[in-house]
Structure 1
Amino acid sequence: MSLHSIQPVGIAGSNCQIPVANSRVSAGFPSPADDYVERHLDLNDKLIRHPSATFLMKVEGDSMINAGMQNGDLLIVDRAIQPAPGKIVIAAVNGELTVKRLALHQGCYWLQPENPKYQAIPLNESNDCFIWGVVSHIIHQCA
């Protein structure tokens, strides 16, 4: 994906309210379900902290599979969040965008994949690189 192919998606200003069930769902033992809706929730309120600096991007490939990212997933990328070691970032490396975990090892920064099939990318003078944004959420389709 090139830098020129980034297209913002209309998140800011949209109003998408989804019903929220009154009960929680058990991830352990099953519990009885309630049959009513408590309220409506606007996903923008939960997922978007900085609307004017937020974009959606689609994952291509499998270099971050062990971080829960699969090919075709949507990433919510916030350019207002400060990049820091441990965060998953969108970086422009030699004019191409990539998603990797920012790592700091022995005083040097690296873009670390979450798949052993891929090698880390050093952030040094041999790579024209800058951090474009920080991934705040992954939207993964289950069905």
Structure 2
Amino acid sequence: MSDAMFIPANPEPPLLPLPYPLPLTRAGLSGFPSPAQDYEGRTLDLNERLVKRPSSTFFMTVTGDSMVALGIAEGDLLVVDSAIEPRPGHILVATVEGELVVKRYELIGNRPYLTSANPAYRPIPAADLECQAWGVVRAVVHEYAV
């Protein structure tokens, strides 16, 4: 995977509020309420929701099947923050011996490993190889074919 696969977040993303309905429960009302009432005054901006630090956030598209059991599939879009300090349990984008990977950071017997969510791939001993974390995955965007 080359650097061309990385898309940096806009340092000042434009506001794009989209309708975000509030589920309402109505009891004891007579008549039929307007469906538009659910959309009144509530919006959601995905930049605001997913990009906490624009200057350290980038996007990348996933290739491969090593993280499928964690809901990360080929073609998914990752929101990655390079300002987060990696901790065990985090899903990371890292380089291992010059190859870009997406793996979970785990301690096994007090040693750091990068692990897959697919049993076809063995854990990578991070201490024994040239390994560098690029960022922590904050979100995964999965699109369905329609």
Q: Normalising by structure 1, what TM-score?
A: 0.85
1:114 equivalent in structure 2? 117
From the two aligned structures, give the one with the greater helix fraction. Answer: 2
Check conservation: 1:23, 1:34, Cα contact below 8 A: no
1:128 equivalent in structure 2? 130
> Gaps spanning 5+ residues in structure 2: where?
25-32
Match of 2:96 among 93, 97, 102: 93
Check conservation: 2:93, 2:137, Cα contact below 8 A: yes
Where 1:142 maps in the other structure, the secondary structure is coil
Q: CA deviation at 1:42?
A: 1.2
Structure index of larger Rg: 2
Per-residue CA deviations over 1:43-64 (Å, capped at 9, x if unaligned) read 1111111110000010001000
Separation in structure 1 between the aligned mates of residue 9 and residue 87 of structure 2, nearest angstrom: 27
Where 1:55 maps in the other structure, the secondary structure is strand
CA RMSD of superposed structures (Å): 1.8
Separation in structure 1 between the aligned mates of residue 78 and residue 126 of structure 2, nearest angstrom: 23
> Gaps spanning 5+ residues in structure 1: where?
25-32
Instruction: Find out whether 1:23 has 2:23 as its counterpart.
Output: yes
Q: CA deviation at 1:70?
A: 0.7
Separation in structure 2 between the aligned mates of residue 111 and residue 142 of structure 1, nearest angstrom: 28
Q: State the number of aligned residues.
A: 133
Q: CA deviation at 1:20?
A: 0.9
Q: Give the residue type in structure 1 aligned to 2:89.
A: G
Match of 2:63 among 60, 65, 77: 60
Where 2:55 maps in the other structure, the secondary structure is helix
Q: Give the residue type in structure 2 aligned to 1:57.
A: M
Separation in structure 1 between the aligned mates of residue 130 and residue 34 of structure 2, nearest angstrom: 54
2:76 equivalent in structure 1? 73
Check conservation: 2:9, 2:55, Cα contact below 8 A: no
